[in-house]
Amino acid sequence: MTPPLAPETDRNLAASPDGLAAVSSYPAYAILAKRADFLRAASARRQGAGGFLLQARRRDDGSDAIRVGFTCSKKIGNAVARNRAKRRLREVVRMVLPTLARPGWDYVLVGRPGVTIDRDFALLQADLEGALRQIHAPRPPRAPTGKPA
Q: Is the pLDDT of residue 142 over 90?
A: no
Domain edges within the chain: 26-135
Helix or strand or coil: residue 37? helix
Q: pLDDT tens digits, residue range 20-40? A: 554 555 567 899 999 999 999
Q: Is the pLDDT of residue 13 over 60?
A: no
Residue 7: CA count within 13 A, CB half-sphere:
3
- Architecture (CATH level 2) of domain 26-135: 2-Layer Sandwich (3.30)
Q: Which residues pair with 57 in a beta bridge?
A: 106
Q: Is the pLDDT of residue 90 over 50?
A: yes
Q: What is the pTM of this model?
A: 0.76
Give the pLDDT score at 148.
65
Q: pLDDT tens digits, residue range 25-81? A: 556 789 999 999 999 999 999 999 999 999 999 998 888 899 999 999 999 999 999
| Range with lowest mean pLDDT among 16-30, 110-124, 125-139 | 16-30
- The span from the CA of 132 to the CA of 63, in Å, is 20
Candidates 85, 87, 95; CA nearest to 125 is 95
Of 139 and 84, the one with more pLDDT: 84
